Structure 1
Amino acid sequence: RTAKALEEAYRRIERMNYALIDARAAAEDARRLKAEFAANISHELRTPLSLIIGFSETMANAPETYGDFRWPPSLRADVEQIYRASCHLSSLVDDILDLSALEVRRLGLSVEEVSVHDVLSEAVSIVAELFRAKGLYLQVEVEPGVPHVHIDRTRIRQVLLNLLNNASRFTLEGGVTVRARRAGREVEIAVADTGIGIAPQDVPKVFEEFRQVDGSTRREHGGTGLGVPLSKRLVELHGGRMWLESTPGKGTTFYFTLPLSQAQGLPAHYTRGSGAPGAAENYRRTVLCVEPDPWLMRMLRRQIDRYDLIVAERPEEVHDLVQRHQPVALMVNSPGGDPVAGLEVWAETVPPGLPVIGYVLKGALGEARRLGAEGYLVKPIARSELLNALKQVAPEARDVLVVDDDPEFVELVCRYLQTHGNEWRLRKAYSGEEALERMRQRPPDLVFLDLSMPRMDGIGVLSAMRSEPGLVRVPVIVISAREYPEGDVRQGGRLLVLRRAEELLAADTVNCLRAILDALPRPDPVRPGPSPGLPATPTG
């Protein structure tokens, strides 16, 4: 009887464990689908938003493009309001995308050594006019001796801007003080306002996504409830913490910390193998990278954020970079597809004990540059960016072909060009095949070419141009998506090569294998079947 009762208990525990596995998998799927849905919707919103921003900026800043008639001041003011509101909506879409990326763990960091004072000053300078317009003071106090930190400069500036904008909305008199000091092995930053404050029972709501302290539709101060939760997640991604202290009627202070990654007085790129005394375990190590594609390089920096990645452009500069940064390895991308052949030239430039890692990643932008593209633009494109690229690549161009499968975007590029004079011969193509046909009829002075098009994409157009004598010298400015995520990398290699002139120790080999295994994605959980003839064993 006891054995039967134990067997029944085992079966119940087994069923409960299976139910827990199913529930956890369902919860993970729901979280992932929610984040991906928000990201997809946000991407769909971004395309028309970029057009609204582009056209309204042109109407507000270059109304002469639309003719010689005089714009009424009220109409111009309305257009400027459309432009400002569109920019605001675009920033909200960016916040949703960032939160979605954090949810699915796809938001990496591009880490660099940064002065805390510089980051604070940059953020304060951006919002200074807003505070002046409201009659509020805005000041910065940095404690002497605050060390540099290794952070994603853009993301921490985003955190500060969110907190400063939040403070400006809830402060009617007085102002805001931004302070920074060293607190043990961290740098502590505080944004203190003299605003209305937050009641103790409402403090937890501040860090909840899409929540407002005043959740009514008639709330006075506006906002979406995204800024502070996103800021908290970005700080935690850096290994820091965020909290607040508030007194109703007197003001609120938001605090966040950034961990120090190295001790005072040692080189920024010191590595454990350099022999300096007192080496700490959390020094940031350096890797030299041979990566010609700037957007692939950006992706690598965001995803391999525990290391400082230093670009080596020519073999002759590797020796000096090794002496200066003491890297743990040299990584070489071989987009041609053969990482073994790609290592030969670079392996001869490094000390015998330095590992050289060959890999294959093919980015569309790097492929375009290899095929002769002379410039690149990233959507959404500002009018000044397009005109600067034109000035650098083909300042004398007048016959311009714009190639994109989105007719509205083609029209926007043409409108941008028309703000720079009326002597253009503008031609349009909405597919790769149509672009080649128009170029063969009459080679243009310059081509703006979108990389992402159905059927024949921008790479196919470039390849065809470089094989035709009449088109091989036509300058091309390629246009790519706003972000360059891992999903847009065209192809990875099936071979990862590790080479070192000295023989690898067994421990080195095992460490490399462990690092590669740690990086592999986890498989979905599989429900095991009970062994026949044996009582089910509980799993925990």
Structure 2
Amino acid sequence: MAVMAQIKGMSIFLKTGLLAFCLFGCISILTSALAAYTLHDRLTSEYVSKGAAIATAIASASQEVLLGRNAATTQAMIDQYLAIEGVAYVFVVDSDGVIVSHTFVPEVPDVLKPLPKSKHMQIVTELKVESLGRVIDICAPVLAGVAGYVHVGMDKELVVSYFWKAIFDMQVLLFFTFWACVGVLYLVTRRISRPLDQLTEYARRLAAHDFSATIDIRTKDELNLLGRAMQSMGQELALLFMEMNSEVDKATGELRDHMAYLSAILDNLADGLLVVDVTGKITVINPAMRKLFNLSDKDYRDEMVEDIFPCEVLDMVSGVRNCSSEILSAELPLSSGRIGKAISSSVSISEPCSQCLGGVILVRDITKEKELDQLKTDFISTVSHELRTPMTSVLGFSKIIRKKLEQVIFPLLTHKDSVSKPIEQVRGNMDIIVTEAERLTELINDVLDIARMEAGEIKWRDSEVSLAEVLRQSRNSTKGFWKAKGLEVELDIEEGLPFVHGDSGRLVQVVVNLISNAIKFTEKSPIVCGVKKDGEFQEVFVKDNGAGIAPDDLELVFAKFKQVGDTLTSKPEGTGLGLSICRQIVERHDGRIWAESDPEHGSTFHFVLLSGRSGVCLPPETKQCLGRVFAPKVPPEVLIPPKPEVAPLILVVDDDSALIRFLEEVFEDNGFRVCSATNGEDAFRLAQELNPDLITMDIMMPFMDGREAIRCLRSLPATRNIPVLVITALSGEQGDGGDMALTKPVDEMRLLEAARVLLGKRDACKSCLVLGEREGCDLESLSLLCTGDIAFMTEKEFWECRGTEFRGTVFIPAEEYRNIDLERLTKLLGVSIVILPDYGCE
């Protein structure tokens, strides 16, 4: 320790000594230079003054001598001046420049002969004489140069020797002075360094958390005060460190417990947890995540996500690594055929600076939920069939009973006064039965629609739709409702609106629901239903003058089973599902629906849809050509004489006998012939035997269901063109191979309208078309093969008129079939091809 202190003391001394040496050196050099310059200047001036005095004295004394040309006297006079220190030579020249006397031996050097002269002043010249060295020559005129000039030379080498001797003596003195100062400096630094060494050592021990150290400085200066202050600070630091260590131990224990708690939570978390950094490396993975993806117990930290997990997880990781605030969700395939729901979000901090740390992904096994959803769907399908089928019978027979009572029974009893009141009661009761059955049907439809929409099982029929036409159709559909209440529904449609892309039927359902709600909750006309263009969108609005909706309820009205008002003290108006269904339909069309309301002036419901491309209009000639193909009208002379009219035969297929009876009564009352079957096998057999004009088909039936039965019917040429009207309890089952579908319970008017439309198509399907000329054809022979009208056209006209949509029989004359593209014709569905022999067409 003493050696270290000595080294530190020497270090201070060396640094201070080096600084002192530099300062002393600079001072000594500057001082010596100044002294040397001053000494040299003063000596030179003295020598010049001395030489000038001697020259002046000689010039004054030698005037008469020079004028008398007494050289010996002059020589004797100047020789005595050589005894003066510093005088190097003296010589006198006359006015002609002839040297009269001199002190040189043997003669005056040539360098002194041409020296400058002045008649009025002394001239001082420095020069170098070979035998004398450097001299200072002083030239003084005698009698203004009339008698001559006196030259006195002062030895400058003597000045230089004095100069260097003085410099040497000064440097010796400075040398000893410097080392004396160094000694004093060493003693002073030693006195200062000892307390500093003590302070340094004390500070080092404090830094090492050794608070037991002491310091003993016995000086009476600032260092003593500093030592006491540091010792006091050390004591305070000792207390602070004791408290800090206590708090650190406490915080460490709490952190350890917290980390253990978090680790236990992550390890026992039912959902899988995956945390990644911004580079895609795994930082945290819990056991549930390993189990979901069937991973081993290996430590996957610092491994890349793409090396461990499937691409679906990688897609979610890529979505959160860019640190967007969006929360992503998706379904992922898990191990063992399971399904998971994943939610991912970015992880970032804002303190001390904004920084993204990566992302976190939570995965939950939703296999059971998916199975429950499937069970729910199956349950809905079963319940829909079990509810809608009897509801069809209840509602249908109720309407038939009411119709029979009004048309047959009540007219027979009108003349009896005693039965007028019971008749009114029965009429009112029947109205209530029909109304409540329709209300129950609406409830069933809403529940099934919302369930199927949430399950994503609704089949959408998108096309180019005119919202103006949607509004007109919706107004007409609700006409009976608002007329009965004494209200008016006005249309406000902007002109020139383009089409939108969507499901026309579903959009009508939205507008009908909004108009129906407005009718329910308003007593004052008018209800305004309009559409206008809003940039790239079209905005539909329905405005009423009712009581309005509270601001807090504007968003709640779109929730399922939510109705505004007090449902405990007032009767609910509807199921509370209508607006929720509207929102689902609008959002499916990438639109938005909202409500605005003034509690004093009514409510307005809006929804917007993106404008789409308008439909392509067919040219008039194409429409005419299509008319020739699908509704051929040929001149009377080429038509087959009409056959006796026979009522169309309708085959009713359903496993519910009550519904069969209802459909039979409806069709028979409207002049149709009816036969029935209770399963798909019987329906397929009867269709081949009877060749009905129309088949109504239920979907859910025993043995062979409706879908299989339709496939079998379409597979045979004899039954392929029989139109099939699907009557199903499953909402959204609009396909299944049928030509049209109605959902139970079936409205009588809609049923009859659909039947007549399909029967019209059946007639069109009986159309016959000849790819050849009318002249030369045996029409009587063709009538045996074709029961419908006959049209004639070339092959080019057939394909230009959308021949791919033709359904019927195509006759090809034998002489023309080699020029016809038979391969292309045989690929058309619903088309039969007959090659006519020579006697058919010449």
**Category of TM-score, reference length = shorter chain:** 0.5 to 0.7
1:480 matched residue in structure 2: 726
Superposition pairs of residues 114-129 of structure 1, within 5 angstroms: 114-129=465-480
Asked if 2 retains the 8 angstrom alpha-carbon contact of 1:38 and 1:97, the reply is yes
Kindly tell me: are residues 239 and 77 of structure 1, through their superposed partners in 2, closer, same or farther at Cα, counting changes over 3 Å?
same
Query: d(CA) in 1 for partners of 2:600 and 2:402?
Result: 41
Opposite residue 201 of structure 1, the aligned amino acid is D
How far off is 1:123 after superposition?
A: 0.9
* Alignment match, 2:563: 212
Match of residue 412 from structure 1: 662
Shift of 1:156: 0.8
Find the aligned partners of 1:475 and 1:66 in 2 and give their Cα distance. 39
Deviation at 1:408, TM superposition (A): 1.3
Alignment of 1:351-370 (within 5 A): none
Residue matched to 2:396: 54
Report matched runs for 1:291-330 at 5 Å: none
Structure 2 counterpart of 1:14, one-letter code: N
TM (norm. structure 1) is 0.55
Q: Which amino acid aligns with 1:409?
A: L
User: 1:209/1:34 Cα in 2 relative to 1: closer, same or farther (>3 Å)?
Assistant: farther
Contact 1:400 1:444 (8 Å CA) reproduced: no
**Cα separation, partners in 2 of 1:239 and 1:407, compared to 1, 3 Å:** same
Aligned to 1:250: 601
Give 1:186-197 correspondences, 5 Å limit. 186-197=537-548
Note if contact 1:397-1:445 (Cα within 8 Å) is conserved in structure 2.
no
User: How far 1:462 moved relative to its partner?
Assistant: 10
Alpha carbons of 1:84 and 1:476: their partners in 2 closer, same or farther (altered >3 Å)? farther
Residues 32 and 103, structure 1, Cα contact 8 Å, conserved in 2: no
In 2, the alpha carbon distance for the partners of 1:68 and 1:485 equals 40
Mapped partners of 2:499, 2:720: distance in 1: 46
Using the size of structure 2 for normalisation, the TM-score is 0.37
Q: Any idea what the Cα deviations from partners look like across 1:483-510, whole Å, max 9, x if unmatched? A: 57499579xxxxxxxxxxxxxxxxxxxx
Once the two structures are superposed, the pairs formed by residues 170-319 of structure 1 within 5 Å of their partners are 170-214=521-565, 216-220=567-571, 222-262=573-613, 268=615
Question: Larger deviation: 446-455 or 78-87?
Answer: 446-455
What are the superposed Cα offsets for residues 414-468 of structure 1, whole Å, 9 maximum, x if unpaired? 32244246x97x765545666799999x96987856465423567669969999x
Give the deviation of 1:252 after TM superposition: 1.0
Q: Deviations over 1:84-125 (max 9, x none)?
A: 332332233222222112111122321222222211111112
* Deviations 1:294-327, CA, capped at 9 Å, x for gaps: xxxxxxxxxxxxxxxx9xxxxxx9xx99xxxxxx
Q: Structure 1's 254 and 82: CA in aligned 2 closer, same or farther, altered over 3 A?
A: same
One-letter amino acid of the counterpart of residue 468, structure 2: H
Give the direction of change, closer, same or farther, for the CA distance of 1:31–1:241 in structure 2 (3 Å limit). Answer: farther
2:703 maps to which of 436, 455, 460: 455
Write the deviation string for residues 327-354 of structure 1: whole angstroms up to 9, x where unpaired: xxxxxxxxxxxxxxxxxxxxxxxxxxxx
Secondary structure of the 2:437 match is helix
Report the counterpart of residue 497 of structure 2 in structure 1: 146
Give the AA of the match of 1:480: V
Q: Contact 1:243–1:256 (CA<8 Å) still a contact in 2?
A: yes
**Structure 1 residues 395, 220: closer, same or farther in 2, change over 3 A?**
farther
Q: Which amino acid aligns with 2:702?
A: P
Distance 1:254 1:55, change over 3 A: same
Query: How big is the shift at 1:31?
Result: 5.2
What SS does the aligned partner of 2:604 have?
strand
State how far apart, in whole Å, the 1-side matches of 2:514 and 2:482 are: 13
Q: Relative to structure 1, is the Cα distance of residues 230 and 11 closer, same or farther in structure 2, using a 3 angstrom cutoff? A: same
Against the structure 1 CA distance between its residues 113 and 436, is the aligned structure 2 distance closer, same or farther, given a 3 Å change threshold? closer
| Partner residue, 1:378 | none
Q: Report 1:428-467 matches (<5 A).
A: 429-431=677-679, 450=697, 452=699, 453-456=701-704
Match of 1:45 in 2: 387
Q: Aligned partners of 1:473, 1:128: CA distance in 2, in Å?
A: 41
Task: Confirm whether residue 14 of structure 1 aligns to residue 365 of structure 2.
Answer: no
Q: Distance in 2 between matches of 1:9 and 1:88?
A: 51
Distance in 1, matches of 2:650 and 2:735, equals: 31
Q: How much has 1:66 moved relative to structure 2?
A: 8.2
Amino acid corresponding to residue 254 of structure 1 in structure 2: F
Residues of 2 paired with 1:446 and 1:463: CA distance? 17
Instruction: State the shift of 1:40 in Å.
Output: 3.8
> For 1:465 and 1:32, how far apart are their aligned partners in 2?
30
Partner of 2:286: helix, strand, or coil? Answer: helix
In 2: Cα distance, 1:52 partner to 1:153 partner: 30
Amino acid at match of 2:610: P
Task: Report the secondary structure of 1:21's partner residue.
Answer: strand
CA distance in 1, matches of 2:465, 2:649: 44
Instruction: In structure 2, list runs of 5 or more residues that go unmatched.
Output: 1-255, 269-284, 293-361, 414-422, 627-643, 739-842
Cα pair distance change 1:269/1:435, threshold 3 Å: closer
> In structure 2, how many angstroms separate the alpha carbons of the residues matched to 1:261 and 1:107?
22
- Local SS of the residue matching 1:225: coil
For 1:179, what is the secondary structure of its paired residue?
A: strand
Q: Name the amino acid aligned to 2:286.
A: E
SS of the equivalent of 2:507 reads helix
Larger RCO (CA within 8 A; separation ≥ 6)? 1
What letter is aligned with 1:235?
V
Q: What code does the residue aligned with 2:606 have?
A: Y
Q: Return the alpha-carbon distance in structure 1 between the equivalents of residues 288 and 687 of structure 2.
A: 67
**In 1: Cα distance, 2:460 partner to 2:721 partner:** 34
Q: Aligned-pair distance for 1:138? A: 1.8
- Structure 1 residue 154, shift from structure 2 partner: 0.9
Instruction: Give the fraction of aligned pairs with identical amino acids, expressed as a percent.
Output: 29
Q: Whose helix proportion is higher, 1 or 2?
A: 2
Which residue identity lines up with residue 253 of structure 1 in the other structure?
T
Cα distance change of structure 1 residues 46 and 396 upon mapping to structure 2, 3 Å threshold: same
In the alignment, the residues of structure 1 paired with residue 714 and residue 537 of structure 2 have an alpha-carbon distance, to the nearest angstrom, of 55
TM-superposed CA distance for 1:133, in Å, is 3.0
Return 431-440 or 155-164, whichever deviates more. Answer: 431-440
CA distance in 2, matches of 1:115, 1:399: 37
Within a 5 Å distance, the mapping from 1:153-164 to structure 2 comes to 153-164=504-515
CA RMSD of superposed structures (Å): 4.6
Query: 2: CA distance between counterparts of 1:110 and 1:10?
Result: 47
Kindly tell me the number of residue pairs found equivalent between the two proteins. 360
The amino acid across from 1:193 in the alignment is: D
2 CA distance for matches of 1:479 and 1:99?
25
Partner amino acid for 1:182? K
CA 1:173–1:118: 2 relative to 1, 3 Å: same
Alpha-carbon spacing, 1:48–1:124, altered in 2? closer, same or farther (3 Å)? same
**How has the CA–CA distance of structure 1 residues 218 and 28 changed in structure 2, closer, same or farther, with 3 Å as cutoff?**
farther
In 2: Cα distance, 1:399 partner to 1:254 partner: 47
Partners of 2:501 and 2:649 lie apart in 1 by 47
Q: Does 2:448 align with 1:100?
A: no
